[in-house]
Amino acid sequence: MLQALDNHGKVVTLYSLNKERLAKLKVEGHFYCPVCKEKLLIRAGEKVIAHFAHHRKSSCPHGGEGAYHEQGKLDLYKWFSDQGFRVKLEHYLAEIKQRPDLLVEIGSKTLAIEFQCASIPMSDVQRRTAKYRENGFVPIWILGANKLNRLTSQMIKISSTDASYIHQFHEYFPLSIYYYCSLQKQFIFFQDFYFFTQTKAYGSLSVMALDRATLKDFFTMRKLPSDQLLQTWREELKKWRNRPVPFHQKNETAWRQWLYLHQLNVQTLPYFVNLPIQTEFMAKSPPWVWQSRLYLDLILKQKKFSFTDAHDILRNHFYPASDFPLIHSSFHPVREYFQMLERIGILKCYKQNIYVVIRTTV
């Protein structure tokens, strides 16, 4: 953490102190955690930002996440302050018993900024986000770029636990996930992405130096050009169709056997049975698994069906929307998929929840 209490209960910060002063404090100073009141150590060095740390055995929830995190927190603190916003560092919100890394006042709104570098349980992210929102704060989670797993220039891996950090500020806002690197001093904005697998997402990725970015960049809508998506998806589809499946991948093997029982295989499945989906992170199985269920059990078998029929077939295939409190829209993978099928002329929605099959091949 960047702040601690001294013997008199006064808040002390270290990052602005010179070497001599720091060396003196390291020996003579007594500092305490504002949460657990334990005695703290000072960590500082040539490449390490001066900060407070608990003793190794501490189990304090305000434990801190190391120098990378502390540096990022301070960078962001200065970045917001330089833009003229009122910022509070590590401020304790007694009413909700939470301590966001930063609180930023913007007009009548207050942003609760969390710079998250360590992995924490999804349920913690959900609970903390929900509490911020219930109490009128706008939560923004910025992930440490140490958690960024970049596959190509426009493709990253978003693990199922990191999916709870996906933001969507309003219904028409593209899905967005934010990263900051406190070593390279840059933001990475990843937006408007589609999942080719449960974790592999393709979207608009932009890197921006901290000193060139402003808060507006968090709310800018960077769209992925549709021709780029189409081209990449075709390449991915080809790879997927030709990839060997090792037998230890039990679920995938079982799914392929299920296809064989229906006289089908991955090569003969129509291409629309593996469409990239934006809300795939809400699904518990890969896109081709649940989409093929809909294809075989509904599209091939029935001339007409309802959204509820689809929902019944895929019971337990999706996480509840409440698992993603940063997402505003009420979008659902099946609804998104049906809309795509409408666009390519497979289905037609003729009442709000009733779909008619137009054709089954392309």
CA distances from 263 to 26, 191, 243, 251 (A): 73, 39, 20, 19
Could you tell me which of 11, 169, 146 has the C-alpha nearest to residue 72? Answer: 146
62 near Zn ion, judged by CB under 5 A: yes
93 near Zn ion (CB under 5 A): no
Q: Please, which of residues 102-141 interact with Zn ion by CB under 5 A?
A: none
Q: How far is the CB of 33 from Zn ion (least distance, A)?
A: 3
Question: Is residue 321 involved in binding Zn ion (CB under 5 A)?
Answer: no
For the chain, helix, strand, coil in percent to 5 are 35, 25, 40
Between 38 and 323, name the residue whose CB sits nearer to Zn ion.
Answer: 38
Report the alpha-carbon distance of residue 127 to residue 66 in Å, rounded. 23
Q: Rounded CA gap, 119 and 114, in Å?
A: 13
> CB of 32: closest distance to Zn ion in angstroms?
8
Cβ atoms of 167 and 111 within 8 Å: the answer is no
Distance CA 43, CA 34 (A): 17
Of 184, 89, 108, whose CA–CA distance to 146 is shortest?
184
Shortest gap between Cβ of 64 and Zn ion (angstroms)?
Answer: 9
CB of 8 to Zn ion, least distance (A): 18
Distance CA 360, CA 362 (A): 7
Options 12, 17, 22, 60; binder of Zn ion; rule CB under 5 A: 60
Nearer to Zn ion by Cβ, of 92 and 307: the residue is 92
Nearer Cβ to Zn ion, position 62 or 311?
62
36 near Zn ion, judged by CB under 5 A = yes
Q: Which C-beta is closer to Zn ion: that of 2 or that of 33?
A: 33
Quick check: 272 and 360 in contact, CB under 8 A? no
Q: CA-CA distance, 239 to 228, in Å (whole number)?
A: 17
* Shortest Å distance, C-beta 50 to Zn ion: 18
Nearer to Zn ion, 32 or 319 (CB): 32
Region of 26-34, 119-127, 188-196, 351-359 interacting with Zn ion (CB under 5 A): 26-34
Size of the site for Zn ion (CB under 5 A): 5
**Dihedrals φ, ψ of 224, to 5°?**
-90, 125
- Using the rule CB under 5 A, which residue among 2, 4, 33, 283 binds Zn ion? 33
5 counts as binding Zn ion under rule CB under 5 A = no
| Rounded least distance, CB 133 to Zn ion, Å | 26
Find, among 325, 322, 353, the residue nearest to 339 by Cα: 353
Q: Give whole-number Cα distances, 291 to 76, 82, 140, 199, 273, in Å.
A: 42, 49, 32, 16, 5
Location of structure tokens 């929307």 = 321
Q: Choose the stretch contacting Zn ion; rule: CB under 5 A; options: 25-33, 149-157, 179-187, 237-245.
A: 25-33
Q: Report the residue number, 50 or 140, with the smaller CB distance to Zn ion.
A: 50
For residue 324, the minimal CB distance to Zn ion (Å) is 30
By CB under 5 A, residue 275 contacts Zn ion: no
Which residue has tokens 């891996």?
A: 157
Q: Give whichever of 4 and 224 is closer to Zn ion, judged by the CB atom.
A: 4
Nearer to Zn ion, 3 or 81 (CB): 3
In the complex, least distance from residue 62 CB atom to Zn ion, rounded to whole angstroms: 5
Give the nearest distance from C-beta 96 to Zn ion in angstroms.
Answer: 18
35 binds Zn ion (CB under 5 A): yes
Q: Do the beta carbons of residue 174 and residue 191 sit within 8 Å?
A: yes
CB of 146 closer than 8 Å to CB of 183: no
Query: Of 33 and 145, which has the nearer Cβ to Zn ion?
Result: 33
Residues that bind Zn ion (CB under 5 A): 33, 35-36, 60, 62
